[in-house]
Each structure stands twice: as C-alpha cells, then as structure tokens.
Amino acid sequence: MSLKWRIAIIFGLIAASFWTLFPRTVVERVKRNGEFVYDTVRRVPLKRGLDLQGGMHLALEVDESKGPVADKSKAIDNALKVVRNRIDEFGVSEPVVQKAGNDRIIVELPGIDDPRRAQDVVQKSAFLEFQITDKTQALEKALPRLDALLKGKTVAAAVATPGVKKDTTASSAGLQSLFTADTSKKADSAKTDSAKAAAGTIGGPGAFSKLVQQGRGMPGEYYVAQTDVATVTQYLALPEVAAAMPPGKVLRWSSDTVSLGGRVYRGLYVLDAKPIITGEFLTDAKPNTSPTEGNLVQFTMNNEGARRFRTETGRHIKDYMAIVLDQRVMGQPPVIQSAIGANGQITMGGKDLQAAQDLALVLRAGSLPVPLKVADVRVIGASLGQDSIHKSIVAGSIAIALVVVIMLGYYRFSGALAVAALVLYILYTLAALAGFQAVLTLPGLAGFVLSIGIAVDANVLIFERIREELAHGKTVRTAIDEGFRHAMSAIVDSNVSTALTAAVLYQYGTGPVRGFAVTLLAGIAASMITSIFVVRTFYMIWLNRSRDAQTSLSI
Amino acid sequence: MLRILHDTNYDFIRWWKVMAAITVAFIVLGLGSLAIKPLNLSIEFTGGTLMQLEFTQPPDVGVIRSTLDQAAIHGAEIQQFGTNREFTVRAQNPAQVAAQSKGAEGISVTIERVLKQKFGENNLRVVRTEAVGPRVGDELKRGAIIAILLSFLITLVYLSIRFEWRFATAAVIATSHDVFTTIAFLKLMHLEISLTVVAGLLTVLGYSLNDTIIIFDRVRENLRKGRKETLYETLNRSINETLPRSVLTHATVLAATLSLLFFAGEVIRPFAWVMAFGIITGTFSSIYVAAPVLLWIERKWPRQTGARQTSSTATPTSRTRRSTATATR
C-alpha cells in the first residue's frame, strides 16, 4: 500500500471519528419545570449508562404469590406491552423496556428522581371493576358461622390485638341487635350515627363479629378499626373462613380510611362477586380537580362499554356501585341515580393531583395481565454518576500522563510516535463507542483507562523487535520492516485471545459489565489499528523525508 | 538508547520449585482461610440490599445500627464510604434475602424510612440503592462461573489452533493458577467480590494469557530456528529475550492501574486492586507456571519431529545440562 493511501486512510478515520463525536442536535425528552417535554439539545453522542447518569433499573417478574401462572412467557409478553405503554406516557428520556430471558422484564429509566413513584406506575395492576354492594345482608347471615369457626382461634387473636380486648369488655350490646338498630336509623346523619357506633357499640360474642361493625347505612358497608385490619385480613385469608363466606359475594377493603370519634377505621365492603363491567372498555382517563370532591380521574368508555354500563346501571337504580381498583374500593361507593353512560369518575380521596395523574396514566395504558414483582432494582443518584465521570477523567488523565512519560523517556523519538498513535487510539476508541451506540458504564470507563496502559503493549513489542534487528546490524529501514513483521504474530494472538474473553463477558455480563466488555473490544480494535498501521505509516513518512539518509533511529 | 534488562541471561526456570512452594503456600493460605470465613460476595451474587447514604452531618454509626436493629434488620454491615458523611449499608443475611423474594425493594424501603425518621427527612440522602432478589443472585453467580469456564475453553481451542495443544494446555493451566491466586488475594484483602471484580478477574486472566502468549510466541520462533538446545534452555532464552517488553508493558499498565486505584473513587477501587495484583500474578505465572508445565508436558508426551525431539527427550536431565551450558557461556 502506498504511503499516500495510508495517510489518506488515517485522515479518513480521523475525519470519521470527529464526525461521529461532534456534538449534534438531538431531540430528546428533557425535564422542565417538573414536566417532561420534547426538546432539542446539543451533546456529544456518547451514551451513558445508568451508573453514570443516574436513574433506575428494574427487573420485574411474574408474582405467583397469589396463584400460579400457567404460561409465564406469554404473560410476560402481554405485561411488556402494558409496561411499555405506561413508561412511554410516564415521560422519561430514552427509557428501555425489554424482555430478558423468558420470564423477566427489564425497565431502565435514566434520570428518574422519584423511584418509588416510577415503580408504582410500572407495578400497579390497574384492574378496574365496577361492583354493586351487597343488599342481602349476606355477611350478617354468615357471621355466626364465621364466629363459630374462629372460636378456637380467638385466643391467638386476642393476643395479637390486645387493644381490642379492652373495648370488647367495655361493651355489652350484641352484634345482631346493633345492626338492626343501625339500619333503622337510616335517616339520621351518617356522621353522628357512625360516631355513636364507634363510641360504644363495638363488640359482641364472636371473634370475628366483634372486630367488624356496621357502616354508615349503605348496604354492604362495614368498618374495621385500623388497628384490627391486619387481624381481619388474617382471618379472611384462612381457607375455612373463605369457604364459609357467602357465595357469590366478595369482601374488599376500602382504599382510604375514615376517622370517627377519635378512632381511625377502614371500610370493608361486601360486593357482588360478578362485576357489572370492568376497565377493559376504557378508552380515556384524565386527572381533574373538583372543588367539592377534590382530585379525581374522569374516564370514558368505548361504545360497547357505554352500552353495557347503561344497561347494567339501569338495572341497579338506587343501588350502590363500588369502583374497585386492584381489589380496593376507591372512595365512597356512590348511589346510582339513573343509568350511567360512557363517562364516569373515580374520586381520589385525600390523595394529591399527581396520584390522580398516575392513576389516569395506568388506566389509559391498560391493566397488567399478571401481577409483577421486583426481582432486582438499582437506583443511582445523578450526582453520584457525575462524580464517577469526574473521577474517571482525573484517573484517565493521570494514566495518560504517566504512560507518555514512560514511552518518551524510554523510546525517545519512537516513543513520540507511539504517543501520537495513543492520541489517535483514544479518538478512535471513543468514536467506535459513539458509532456503535455502545453504552458507557463506570466499569467501562475503568476498562478504558486500563486499556491506555495496555494499548502501548503492541508498540513496545514492535519497538523491542526493531531494537533487536538494529542490534543484529540491520539498516534502519530493514530493522523497522523486520521488527513489525516479527512482532505481528504475538500481537495478533494476544489481542485475539483478549477479544475472545471480552466477547464471553459481553455474552454473560449484565449492564455495567457489558459496558466494560464493549469498551474492551473497541479498545482492542483501535489499538491494533494504531499500533500496527498508524505507527508504521509514521515511520514510513519519517524514512521518506530524506530518502536513504536515515542511518540511525532514535528508539 | 535507554535500555533496561537488555541481553540478560538469567536462569529463571531454575527457581521454579521455590516459586511453586511460594505460590502454593499463598493459595493454601488464602483458600484455607475460607474455612474460617467465606468469600465476601457482593449482593449481586447473594441477593440482598446495598444502600449508599449521604448525611449532612457525620452520623453516629452506633445510632444507625441500633435504628436498623429496631426495624428488625439485623446484622447489616455499615461502612464508611469515602468521606465521614457517606456510608454504605449492606443487608444480606439470609432472612433479609428471603424477605426480598416477595419484592426486592422491600428492605431498602424500610431502611430509608427508619433512618429518615431517626435522622430527619432532610439530613440524609440516598445516593444509591441496589436490591437483588435471591433468584437473580443465583443466576448471576452461575453466569459468572460459566463466563470464566467458557473463556478458558475458548482460549484453549484458539491456542490449540494457533500453537498446539501442549502450549495451549500450559497456558490455560497458568491462567487457572491466576484464578486461584486472585481468589486467595481477594480473600486475604477481604475485598468484596462484585460483578465488576469478576470482570476485573477476567481482565487479569486475559492479561496473564497475553504475557504467556508473548513468551510462547518467542519459544515457537526459537524452536523454528532449530538451535541445538533443550526446551529448558529455549524457554529461558525466550523469557530473557522478552524481558524488556515485559518490564515496559507492566510499567505502563501499572501506571494506569495505580491511577485507577488512587483517583477513580471507591466504586472502582476493588477492580483496581484486582488488576494491580493481576499484573504480579500474571507475570509470575507466565514464567513459573506456564514454562515448567510446558516442560512437564513435553516430557510426558514428547514431540515426534526433528529438532524438537532433542528438546523433549532432554528434559528429564535438563537441569544438569543447563548448568553446564550456563557455565560455558
């Protein structure tokens, strides 16, 4: 290859590198005043991994704690679509949502500053159901059965909730009579009624019934003191209790609590098991704020959904309809005044507007077909990433300075050629990383710093060979030729074996380690080009400058 | 021309028994101490939670510990990380790991909540959280072991093609030696073995292999020249001839490694330690493991052809022969 061509190739590579690395204008989502907007920014097109720019990495898998899932791979495929929709709407710049292996979803959210909220958005099942509250007093009828069942377990319960025991002894009224009394007082204001109930009427003979009391007059509504919620949940989870529950009904907790007479209660609702309609017909959901009801989410159904909703609600006029999200009753079930069509709303209780926004988002994106749990999570603060980059640059600069001193000190002029090649090495490696859109990680940066030390190895091998040839009395020109030729096999073999190791790392590594492997591979390629091709060309230029006049070589 | 160790004629291999004793002692010491305390595996492999916390005021470590104990997070390891306002909390005992199978984030949420209650919402910032469920940990562990074994296999095949099986086997045995010494080193230094450290280990293996290949490349070349000398002598000659290169390359790599060790920060430090040790063990194994093993293989399975035959058959008596050779030189 003629010298002209060699020089042309080197300059071509330099030009290409500058072109790849030149800061360019890209459209990306950036955060402005707390909102993500599309904007154009100018930056060097080097991708930083989560550990360098901060952000969140989540691995999710199917949660089988609530029952086995038959085809996990398919379930994950379906869940993936939903999660992707949600993340797209959540507003993060360059998110990654992908399937890993057969049964896992990887979510990467760069620059996230509220990881818990992000996780909620990803994990929320968002399964919406509309269910009519029970009018048949099914729970009251089942209470004696339940109490009998739990008789043997009463002791444990009493130990578990010592606070309750005191209340129980203070009251004497029977539960059944209490209920009748309550329903007869329907006309009374709900507040005073419940307050009275809270003040003196908890209790009863049975283990279960003493924990549960009548609500505010709505059929199917009950209150459980917040302190007893855990106990009742335990009871309900018992298989024999589940079997004794009234058929065709389900019990659902309320999403928020009420404070009555100084005590905090959580609503427990008995609902018809079959929902009149589910969220699958939802086409849109928007957050809103109403002066009377606070924050809420307004939703719209498609035609089919609206038709069913109208028919079903028309059949249940004067009944109460619970809006159940992920098995929690949202707000107070409203009474159905007349048939409801395509539009409806979910009140958020005391939650803030952001909660309403997030709920609207997950409702729009659709419900998760299976519950997901977090298999692994990493959250890195943005400042930590900045710090890592800064430190890596310091370490890299010092490494370069030391290597330059060693090479110049030992090989003089030839060392200077190697240093020039090292500059090109750094340029080419970075360009390769940018060009292949490789992700730069902290171990990757460390690998890059290390590779600066290793990159000159090929030069050292060549220079030592040239020295040997010169020692054998060869002319400068022949010594250089022979030196390159003899060093070649060692350079190729050692670099290829390192590249193979890097390939294995890439295959089996995760996130940061993958970044390391990519940097290593780019470095090996660049080092081969610079030490063999570029330095050789430098020598050729030097030899050409004064024809055969070069009788000695500074090496 | 500045020259280091030029035209030397040291008899390196002569000391192989002493060196073997030293390295075996080191490995036995390191791996033996595993019986007392297991390897310090990171949460990536065991499962668990790691949090890096930044306080506005230097906190009392005892208070952090008692706060965590009250929240039933027992046996968490609390370590200063850089400045006296930054700490890492590692919760990785089996009970906590098992709790994370329900959702990896659970423990970290608890830690953040109780510490913020204790120290005040604004006096403490979570800089980094890593929480790994038990299943992921097992997978990563398996992945790391497969990666190391697979890189051995691939190397063996490649070197068998480029050299021949005797060289390949000697090189792989030398590299395996480095795995053991590096693990012993990690154990004795009580360094945490993370994925990054495993990547460092694989880099060390690649580096050590490089070194062996450079020497073997010389051996290959010298054998082709068909000198009348034993393999023992050829090996010594090759090691001496490549000595200046070894010194120079180790110097530049050491320079890069030391700048990582001192300037690149806490996260990279274990990686830099492994690399620093790797330079030593890699150089050592290329000379004192690869060469003697090659000699041993040559004696057991001698080559068939011409000039090489003399080298192989001569090996059993090589030590006496060599001494006469050096004497005459």
B141 and B202: one domain? yes
Is the residue at B122 inside a domain? yes
Q: For residue B115, what are its two tokens?
A: 């510490």
Q: Specify the range with the lowest mean pLDDT, choosing from A34-48, A365-379, B116-130, B235-249.
A: A34-48
Stretch B146-159: mean pLDDT: 86
Task: Look up the CATH number of domain A3-21+381-549.
Answer: 1.20.1640.10
Domain boundary among B100, B132, B164: B132
* Chains A–B, number of C-beta pairs less than 8 Å apart: 227
CB of B112 within 8 Å of a chain A CB? The answer is no
B286 and B254: one domain? yes
Q: Let me know: does A94 contact A28? Beta carbons within 8 Å.
A: yes
Domain boundaries, chain A: 3-21+381-549, 55-117+368-377, 131-362
Q: For residue A360, what are its two tokens?
A: 């609207």
- The pLDDT tens digits for A202-254 are 344 566 777 887 777 778 888 888 888 888 888 887 777 777 788 888 888 88
Percent of chain A surpassing pLDDT 70: 85
B214 and B308: one domain? yes
Stretch A418-427: mean pLDDT: 95
What is the pLDDT at residue A30? 61
Measured between its terminal Cα atoms, the distance across chain B in Å is 26
B295 and B249: one domain? yes
Stretch B10-22: mean pLDDT: 91
CB contact under 8 A, B133 and A376: yes
- The pLDDT tens digits for A349-376 are 777 787 788 888 777 877 777 888 888 8
Q: Above 80 in pLDDT, residue A264?
A: yes
Confidence of residue A36 (pLDDT cuts 50, 70, 90): low
CB of A502 within 8 Å of a chain B CB? The answer is yes
Distance CA A482, CA A485 (A): 5
Check the CA dihedral B6-B10-B15-B16 and report its sign.
Answer: positive
Is the residue at B7 inside a domain? no
Is the residue at B8 inside a domain? no
What is the pLDDT at residue A193? 40
Q: Which residues of B touch A516 (CB under 8 A)?
A: 196, 199
CB contact under 8 A, A493 and B217: yes
Q: Give the residue numbers spanning the domain of B85.
A: 48-132
Helix (H, G, I), strand (E, B) or coil at A293: coil
* Crossing angle (nearest 10°) for helices A511-528 and A382-435: 40
B93 and B239: one domain? no
CB contact under 8 A, B209 and A403: no
Q: Specify the range with the lowest mean pLDDT, choosing from A330-339, B21-30, B117-126, B167-176.
A: A330-339
Helix (H, G, I), strand (E, B) or coil at B85: strand
**Where residue B98 sits, what CATH number does that domain have?**
3.30.70.260
Distance CA B156, CA B146 (A): 15
Ramachandran category for residue B132: left, alpha or beta (phi over 0 → left; psi -120 to 50 → alpha): beta
CB contact under 8 A, B256 and A403: yes
Q: Let me know: does A10 contact A534? Beta carbons within 8 Å.
A: yes
Helix (H, G, I), strand (E, B) or coil at A47: strand
The matching CATH number, chosen from 3.30.70.980, 3.30.465.10, 3.20.20.80, 3.30.1360.200, for A131-362 is: 3.30.1360.200
Q: Closest Cα partner for A393 from B200, B204, B265, B278?
A: B265
Q: Above 60 in pLDDT, residue A515?
A: yes
- The pLDDT tens digits for A140-159 are 788 777 787 776 554 444 44
Q: Which residues of B touch A446 (CB under 8 A)?
A: 196, 260, 264, 268, 271-272
Confidence of residue B329 (pLDDT cuts 50, 70, 90): very low
CA atoms within 13 A on the CB side of A444: 29
pLDDT top residue among A127 and B276: B276
- What is the radius of gyration, based on Cα positions, of chain A? 36
Q: Closest Cα partner for B51 from B3, B10, B92?
A: B92
CB contact under 8 A, B195 and A509: yes
Q: Above 90 in pLDDT, residue A10?
A: yes
Is the residue at B126 inside a domain? yes
H or E element in which residue A29 lies: strand A24-32
What is the pLDDT at residue A12? 95
Stretch A29-46: mean pLDDT: 66
CB contact under 8 A, A453 and B150: no
What is the pLDDT at residue A38? 66
Q: Above 70 in pLDDT, residue A325?
A: yes
Helix (H, G, I), strand (E, B) or coil at B323: helix
pLDDT top residue among A232 and B329: A232
B109 and B240: one domain? no
What is the pLDDT at residue A34? 56
- The pLDDT tens digits for A286-317 are 888 888 778 888 888 888 888 888 888 888 88
B152 and B283: one domain? yes
B128 and B141: one domain? no
Q: Above 70 in pLDDT, residue A195?
A: no
Is the residue at B322 inside a domain? yes
Q: Let me know: does A286 contact A353? Beta carbons within 8 Å.
A: no
Give me the residue from A115, A406, A501 closest to B151, CB to CB: A501
B96 and B209: one domain? no
Residue whose pair of structure tokens reads 């500059």 in the numeric block: A423
State how many domains chain B has.
2
Is the residue at B1 inside a domain? no
Residue type at A337?
Q
Q: What is the dihedral of CA B28, B30, B31, B34, to 10 degrees?
A: 140
0.90 exceeded by pTM: no
Domain boundary among B85, B105, B132: B132
Q: CA A153 → CA A165, A170, A231, A375, B322, distances in Å?
A: 14, 21, 11, 35, 88
**Where residue B309 sits, what CATH number does that domain have?**
1.20.1640.10
What is the pLDDT at residue A467? 92
Q: For B272, which residue in chain A has the nearest alpha carbon? A: A446
Confidence of residue A547 (pLDDT cuts 50, 70, 90): low
Is the residue at B105 inside a domain? yes
B216 and B106: one domain? no
Which strands form A321-325's sheet, in the order they lie side by side?
A: A212-214, A221-225, A263-272, A249-260, A328-329, A321-325, A128-132, A277-278
Domain boundary among B101, B132, B163: B132
Q: Above 80 in pLDDT, residue A105?
A: yes
Q: Closest Cα partner for B69 from B30, B21, B115, B29?
A: B115
* Crossing angle (nearest 10°) for helices A535-545 and A3-21: 130
What is the pLDDT at residue A127? 80
Task: Look up the CATH number of domain A55-117+368-377.
Answer: 3.30.70.3400
What is the pLDDT at residue A283? 82
- Counting other chains too, the contacts that A2-6 makes at CB distance below 8 Å and 24 or more residues apart are A3/A537, A3/A540, A3/A541, A3/A544, A6/A533, A6/A536, A6/A537, A6/A540
Where does residue B18 rank: exposed (0-12), middle (13-18), buried (19+ CB within 10 A)? exposed
pLDDT top residue among A192 and A358: A358
What is the pLDDT at residue A549? 62
Q: Let me know: does B223 contact B308? Beta carbons within 8 Å.
A: yes
pLDDT top residue among B198 and A174: B198
Ramachandran category for residue A417: left, alpha or beta (phi over 0 → left; psi -120 to 50 → alpha): alpha
CB of B196 within 8 Å of a chain A CB? The answer is yes
Is the residue at B319 inside a domain? yes
Stretch A472-491: mean pLDDT: 91
H or E element in which residue B50 lies: strand B48-55
Distance CA B282, CA B288 (A): 10
CB of B225 within 8 Å of a chain A CB? The answer is no
B272 and B243: one domain? yes
CB contact under 8 A, B203 and A392: no
B197 and B172: one domain? yes
